[in-house]
Amino acid sequence: MAVSPETVLITGASSGIGRELARCFARAGSDCILLARTEEALRELAETLESDYGITAHVLPADLSTPGIGSTIIQNLNDRDLSVDVLVNNAGFGVRGRFSDLDPQRQVDMIQVNVTALTDLTRRLLPAMEERNRGGVLNVASTAAFQPGPFMSVYYATKAYVLSFSEGLADELDASNVTVSCLAPGPTRTTFVEKANMNETHLFQWGVPMTPETVAQAGYEGFRAERTLTVPGWPNKIGAAMVRFTPRSIARGIAGWLNR
């Protein structure tokens, strides 16, 4: 009996790292479910993936900042008889500025997308993976996860959650064939930079941002190698390691300077 292709659900698939992760999985022969707010961009990507790699790509427009969106997504998958083997929680955004100056709803939406929706989708899809004893979850965090981040305090906190959550789950599932992996990229040249108002920060003025293609490939390879954590790029690896031995007062001071 023929084995069905692996089906991968990728959130935030319309651009940047998410789009490139979709390419990585499709290139390897996985069918893709592409989720983001922008339906037109998703349909263009789906057509490209099907044409270039001969896979099946499904489009699932959804706004992850909507409370309770997880149940709507699962209902949509059930209605279309789609089973998810791998969940890629890539969707996320950041906002730069003093916490008390930023729009309060925007901050709450950030937690909803970066933390709540990620957790909800994982909880809803993981039990079936465990029952089949295959598949997994790839969560996209950031090197922001390793220290507090003044002027992006909520964003850094959400990414710290993603990293801690991923590592905890990975240990829980260590004896199974279900993989939980976390990708923690440093500065990457995507639309995230403009949306978060980060173009003029020291981080992007002094650093050398990676391309989303390179970051996605590293994350994909890390997931396939069953690595719990992948930090792409040697400067990012060194920075993440140094934080562990740096007093937190100094680490957060450096992060605040980079975000100015």
What are the residue numbers of the active site?
Answer: 155
Residues 129, 107 contacting (CB under 8 angstroms): no
Residue 38: closest CA among 18, 14, 59, 64: 14
Strands of the 7-11 sheet, one edge to the other: 57-61, 31-36, 7-11, 86-89, 136-140, 179-183, 229-230
Q: Percentage helix, strand, coil, to 5, in the chain?
A: 50, 15, 35
Residue 243: closest CA among 96, 145, 141, 142: 145
Residues 112, 91 contacting (CB under 8 angstroms): no
d(CA 148, CA 133): 36
Which residues does residue 168 pair with via DSSP β-bridges, in sequence order?
Answer: none
C-alpha to C-alpha distances, 238 to 33, 225, 231, nearest whole angstrom: 35, 21, 9
SS3 for 3? coil
Helices 69-79 and 118-132: angle between axes, nearest 10 degrees: 40
Residues 91, 35 contacting (CB under 8 angstroms): yes
